[in-house]
Structure 1
Amino acid sequence: MILALLLLLLGLGFITAEVFFPSFGVLSVLAGAAVIGAVVLAFQESTTTGLLFLLAAVMGLPAAWLAASRMFPHTPLGRRMVAQGADWSKEERAAVEQRVQRFVGQRGRSQSPLRPAGIAQFDGERVDVITRGEHVEAGTPVRALQFEGNRLVVEACHESEEKSA
């Protein structure tokens, strides 16, 4: 019984270690072997003990993996490996929106291919833009439609539209 409990705990430890030390499945295989061994030994003890160990394994392995996965980004290694998004303050977001919002309705020119995101120039200022899915070649005249998220949404405009405006 004690050996079965030790094997179950060892299996849980291996699956937790797999999250922190990627071994390309080696630790997961060891965890599986340890847990299977624990369940087999527990069933040799009694059917009730075996079922309890099986239940513990079925619930414990995912719980251990989930707990380790949630802790990982807070470890020194995790902080280096997991990309941290830039948190903009309301003031920074409002400043960017105000700066770019003035281009809505204006015409500019794409500075890079828009596939669908890229750079366009409006009134001599380079701006991150995105299309609604279409691809636009560099140097194509574009019209700013709206400000969405943190980018200006644009569409290609034809030379005839550009001259009439």
Structure 2
Amino acid sequence: MDPNIIWAIALIAVGAALIILELFIPSGGLIGVASVGCFIGATYLGYQAGEKTGLVILCSSVLVVGVMIYMALKIWPHTPMGRNALPTDENPADTVTKALEHLVGLRGVSTSTLMPNGRIEIDGKTYDAVSQGTIIEEGFAIEVLSIESNRILVTQVEQSPSDQQSTGDRTDTTVEYSTFEDDLEQSLGDETL
């Protein structure tokens, strides 16, 4: 057997091994370029042995490259480098939402004044929460309405009579909004022109 054919077969095997190695070692494509060089060298040596042999080596190289690329696309996403490089289907905000979904419908107590952001306690655990735009004083009973990303939306619920006695004669505080003109008119009093 012609030594050029033996070297050509060896270069095809080395080129295939380099393609596999490229999957596991991040080289910036240098190992891939080396594998292409092996296939070109194998084809050159095949044509040195004869035209028919060169054509067979060329077809073998193309076939091996195709099979290796197909296998690479099947294997690479499961390698550590492939898992880090490819985007995941799961949104990180969805994982937070799923972790808090069990809170929907549960009741707890506000541990700070929610204006509308504050802290709540449910089953002995403290969470950051958001009210529906109303002020919820510290110590009032709340209920979790929904979870949106990492926001826990709560509303104040009626307290039991024993809870109302412990909080004293608290009443809901309402905030009255006024316009700039109303405030100006009130501060000037009768001094208007």
Calculate the TM-score normalised by the size of structure 1: 0.48
Bigger Rg over Cα: 2
Larger relative CO (CA 8 A, sep 6+): 1 or 2?
1
